[in-house]
Structure formats: structure tokens, C-alpha cells
Amino acid sequence: MTADCGQVLPARLRARLLAEHGPATLHVPNASVERVTVMRVLRAALGVGLTEAKAVAGQALAGVFSGTLPEIEYLARKLRGAGVDAVAVRP
């Protein structure tokens, strides 16, 4: 299935992807990575404020931030583009 949804995945499609395929998790294997870089990339990619970016960065660095595979792969690509080793992992 392919969809061009722009930056935001419609809730109905997001729920369907999660139900059919399960969540993917964002992993940033290098614990010594600059947290500020991760926050900057996530803040821009997600369009969130500083407080939420800090929370998401903490979850990403702990390996517990999850979403649909396309969402997580998008974030991993953005992070890799900024020089941060990041991967999307499905259980």
C-alpha cells in the first residue's frame, strides 16, 4: 500500500498500519550522540516545541519512541541526514 499524505498521516490510516503491522521503534545506538542535534532534528521534523522535542529525544535515545514504520523511518532518515546514526526497528 502506498499513500502520499504529506507530513501528517491521517489517523484512520495510522491506526490501520499499527493494527496490521505493529509499531516500529526509533533506535539511536550511539549513546554519546549530541542530544541537542537529536532535539533539533526531531523538533523540525515533528513540528513540535522545545519541551516535546526534549521528551521525544529522550525516548529515542532510550529506544522506546515508536510509531508506524513510515513515521519512524522518516525520522531515522532525517537524523542520519544530520549525522546521527539512527534506525527504524520493527519487533
Question: What pLDDT shows up at residue 1?
Answer: 39
pLDDT in tens, the chain (91 residues): 344 445 567 888 888 888 888 899 999 987 777 889 999 999 999 999 999 999 999 999 898 999 998 889 999 999 999 999 999 998 7
The SS3 call for residue 50 is: helix
Question: What pLDDT shows up at residue 91?
Answer: 75
Which pTM value belongs to this model?
Answer: 0.81
Contacts of 76 (CB under 8 A, 6+ apart): 26, 86, 87, 88
Strands 87-89 and 65-67: unpaired
- The hierarchical CATH code for the domain 22-89 is 3.30.1390.10
Please name the amino acid found at residue 23: P
